Amino acid sequence: MGILLPESANTMMCLRLLPLLLFAVAAAPASAQDVTLTQLENVRFAYAQVLRVTPVYQTLTATAMVETCTPDPEEEDVGSRLSRVVGAVRGVLGREPEEPEEVNERDCTVVPVRREFQRPIAYDVDYVYKGSKYRSRLAEDPGNRLRIRIGVTPVVSSSRED
C-alpha cells in the first residue's frame, strides 16, 4: 500500500498548485523560442567640421489697416499756404482775437496694406566627419563644429545572405 502523509493545509495547497507548476515548466521552452535578443548599441560622441550653414526661412504675411487721405486741392496751392502763414504772423503781432480755423474735410479711407517678412525656422547644415560629407536640418546654428553621436550596431540576420 501507499504511504500516508498527514493532511495539512500546506500539503493540500501544494497538491493543488502541482498541475499549474507542471504546466508552466512544460510551456517554458516553447516561450523561450519566441524571445528575440536585442543588441545594445555601441555609442560614442565626436565632433564634425561644419562646412556651410544655410538658414531656412518662413515667409509670413501681415495685413494692417492704414488710413489714407487724398489731399485737398486748396492745400496744395502755394498761395493759400502763404496766406495762412501771413495770417498767423499778423494774428500774433496784432494780438487780434483768434478766429476759428476753417476745417477742411479730406477724403480719407482705410485701406489694407500687406507686408511680408521672413524669419528663420531651421538651418541646413553641411558637415564632414572622417572624410564623408553629411547634411542635417537643425533648429539652431551649430557654429564651426557640430557634436555628433556615432552608434554602431551589428546587423544580425536569421539567414546567411553573403
Predicted confidence (pLDDT) per residue in 3-15, tens digit? 555 556 566 666 6
Q: How confident is the model at residue 137 (pLDDT cuts 50, 70, 90)?
A: very high
Choice between 35 and 129, residue whose per-residue pLDDT is larger: 129
Number of domains in the chain: 1
Kindly report, residue by residue over 84-105, the tens digit of the pLDDT.
777 776 766 665 555 555 555 6
Assigned domain for 128 exists:
no
Q: In the structure grid, which three cell numbers stand for residue 110, read together?
A: 482705410
What 3-state class would DSSP assign to 100?
A: coil
Q: Which domain holds residue 70?
A: 59-116
Q: Does residue 35 lie within any of the structural domains?
A: no
Asked if residue 112 is part of any domain, the answer here is yes
Please check whether residue 131 lies inside any domain of the structure. Answer: no
Residue 93 inside a domain? The answer is yes
Q: Give domain status of residue 122, yes or no.
A: no
27 located within any domain: no
d(CA 57, CA 61): 13
Kindly state whether residue 137 falls inside one of the protein's structural domains: no
- The H helix count followed by the E strand count for the chain is 3, 4
Closest CA to 75 of 109, 51, 105: 105
